[in-house]
């Protein structure tokens, strides 16, 4: 194991830690520290003529410090925001022993340390609402220096902007970069609002297995693991669909799950191998009903979280106000490429793909070929919410056959800002047709398609007991949060996105050098 060499500042901070303990001050006290206010509330509720002055107890990180003789100004950051502290030697040390101020405060406390402050609220001569400290408590010593941004001649130094470092050390990113925390607060609000809408509709939130014997419910490459006691290979789920449908068979009116799915595929600005998804299934509904419900759900989320049905992403204004455009996929392809794929065979579509200069291979069946054309020529053009509907059967092995269009299914995908946000069906509930579709998928697997579905015999058995007409949908929550917060990369809305292992700690050490307080 390599020994990480400490920087000069880390050595100084560890020495300060030891000196605090030598003075009888525990830098990591165990006792509860009681607070009664947050920085934002103090500022919002302040009254200049209030008497007696409001007494408060706050705690947080020391983010800056200006020592001016016997007095100092500190910027304290708590979980809500920042507030200025005014600290004087005589208030902190009212008796003749001024060691706490002269030794501890001036020499042994550092930027990033957690402190507790008791005092009263006032407004300074410069007009800033502040806390006049009367008691200071050390709560936690920071042994690594924070990369606090400083400016000289208009140039920023020590900024923490490298995405590699920001995503790997999200804890530092949240502390020093403004707005990062707000993104994740909005993420929580998106999920809370989504849950409220579904609960109000009377649907039941459930949990289904993450470890599955068959990776079903989607066309995707799974992660594989091994269960030692059972001595069997298991898969991290790629979707919750087949288990949720089992619950519809069991008699639930509507069920939903908000949870992680895992797909062993590529990573880019809109894909992470583990992602959060909502899946909802409601009995006696179809995909037309689900389109209307989805419009209402997304409009409610946007207005609740942002105060408006409109969001701005990368300079583009996107409106979630219902209704959304509805466009059959084959019409979309003809609109963008000029080719009419209605009634075309697999060989004919393969020739069209070659004419369009698409990179295809022999393992790709009719559905994948159509998907390749749509992805290359159509998907990125739908900025405003658009329902792409009526997919061919070959693309939709779990979807009910269209009631009036032979060869097509009752399925839609919702496109927003050029990406898929949701996928929904009138669910296939004919067990004989479902078994036939599964067998067609296995034929694709035999041709080399490693994303083809595996036959789930237990799910077929459940369907044979009878599943009522049902509509289901999956919504990618990470992508939805990207839209609501105006982010253009999925890594910005995940606390800890998947990354390659660190090659060494050297880059981290180099990044910290020169980060002076």
Sole residue written with tokens 């949990």: 207
Q: What's the pLDDT tens digit per position in 257-295?
A: 999 999 999 899 999 999 999 999 999 999 999 999 999
pLDDT of residue 148: 77
What are the residue boundaries of the structural domains of the chain, listed by start?
Answer: 8-146, 180-493
Whether 165 and 508 have beta carbons less than 8 Å apart is answered as yes
Cβ-in-10-Å burial (0-12, 13-18, 19+) of 268 comes to exposed
Answer whether 8-146 and 180-493 agree in fold. no
Q: pTM value? A: 0.90
CB 388 within 8 A of CB 415: yes
Instruction: Examine the pLDDT at 43 and tell me if it is beyond 80.
Output: yes
CATH 3.40.640.10 corresponds to the domain 180-493: no
Percent of the chain beyond pLDDT 90? 79
Tell which residue, 117, 130, 131, has the closest CA to residue 35: 117
In the three-class reduction of DSSP (H, G, I as helix; E, B as strand; rest coil), residue 144 is classed as coil
Residue 202 has pLDDT above 70, yes or no: yes
Beta carbons of 5 and 509 less than 8 angstroms apart: yes
Task: Give the model's confidence band at 152: pLDDT under 50 very low, under 70 low, under 90 confident, else very high.
Answer: low
Distance CA 240, CA 69 (A): 64
Q: What is the mean pLDDT of the chain?
A: 92
CATH class label, 8-146? mainly beta
């Amino acid at each position: 194991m390599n020994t990480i060499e400490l920087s000069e500042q880390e050595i100084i901070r560890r020495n300060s830690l030891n000196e605090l303990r030598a003075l009888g001050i525990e830098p990591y006290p165990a006792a509860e520290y009681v607070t009664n206010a947050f920085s934002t509330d103090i500022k919002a509720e302040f009254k200049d003529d209030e008497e007696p002055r409001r007494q408060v107890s706050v705690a947080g990180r020391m983010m800056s410090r200006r020592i001016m003789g016997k007095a100092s100004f500190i910027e304290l950051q708590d979980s809500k925001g920042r507030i200025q502290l005014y600290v004087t030697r005589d208030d902190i040390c009212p008796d003749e022993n001024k060691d706490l101020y002269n030794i501890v405060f001036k020499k042994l406390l550092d930027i990033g340390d957690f402190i507790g402050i008791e005092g009263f609220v006032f407004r300074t001569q410069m007009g800033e609402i502040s806390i006049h400290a009367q008691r200071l408590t050390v709560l936690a010593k920071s042994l690594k220096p924070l990369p606090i941004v400083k400016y000289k001649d208009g140039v920023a130094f020590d900024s923490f902007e490298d995405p590699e470092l920001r995503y790997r050390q999200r804890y530092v990113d949240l502390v020093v970069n403004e707005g990062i925390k707000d993104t994740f607060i909005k993420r929580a609000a998106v999920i809370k609002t989504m849950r409220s809408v579904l609960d109000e509709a009377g649907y039941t939130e459930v949990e289904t297995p993450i470890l599955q014997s068959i990776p079903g419910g989607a066309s995707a490459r799974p992660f594989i693991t091994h269960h030692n006691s059972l001595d069997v290979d298991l898969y991290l789920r790629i979707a919750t669909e087949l288990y949720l449908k089992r619950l519809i068979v069991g008699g639930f009116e509507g069920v939903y799950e908000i949870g992680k799915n895992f797909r062993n595929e590529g990573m880019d600005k809109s894909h992470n191998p583990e992602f959060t998804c909502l899946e909802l299934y409601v009995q006696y509904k179809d995909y037309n009903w689900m389109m209307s419900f989805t419009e209402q759900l997304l409009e409610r989320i946007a207005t609740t979280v942002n105060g408006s049905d409109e969001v701005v992403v990368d300079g583009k204004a996107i409106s979630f106000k219902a209704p959304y455009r509805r466009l059959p996929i084959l019409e979309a392809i003809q609109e963008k490429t000029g080719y009419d794929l209605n009634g075309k065979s697999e060989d004919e579509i393969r020739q069209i793909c070659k004419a369009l200069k698409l990179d295809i291979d022999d393992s790709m069946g009719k559905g994948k070929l159509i998907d390749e054309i749509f992805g290359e020529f159509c998907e990125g053009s739908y900025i405003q919410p658009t329902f792409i509907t009526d997919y061919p059967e070959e693309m939709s092995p779990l979807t009910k056959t269209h009631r009036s269009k032979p060869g097509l299914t009752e399925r839609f995908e919702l496109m927003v800002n050029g990406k898929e946000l949701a996928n929904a069906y009138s669910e296939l509930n004919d067990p004989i047709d479902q078994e036939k579709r599964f067998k067609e998928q296995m034929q694709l697997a035999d041709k080399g398609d490693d994303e083809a579905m595996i036959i789930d015999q237990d799910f077929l058995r459940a369907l044979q007991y009878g599943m009522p007409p049902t509509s289901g949908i999956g919504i990618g929550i990470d992508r939805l949060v990207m839209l609501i917060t105006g982010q253009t990369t999925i890594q910005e809305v995940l606390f800890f996105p998947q990354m390659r292992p660190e090659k060494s700690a050297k880059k981290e050490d180099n990044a910290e050098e020169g980060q002076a307080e």
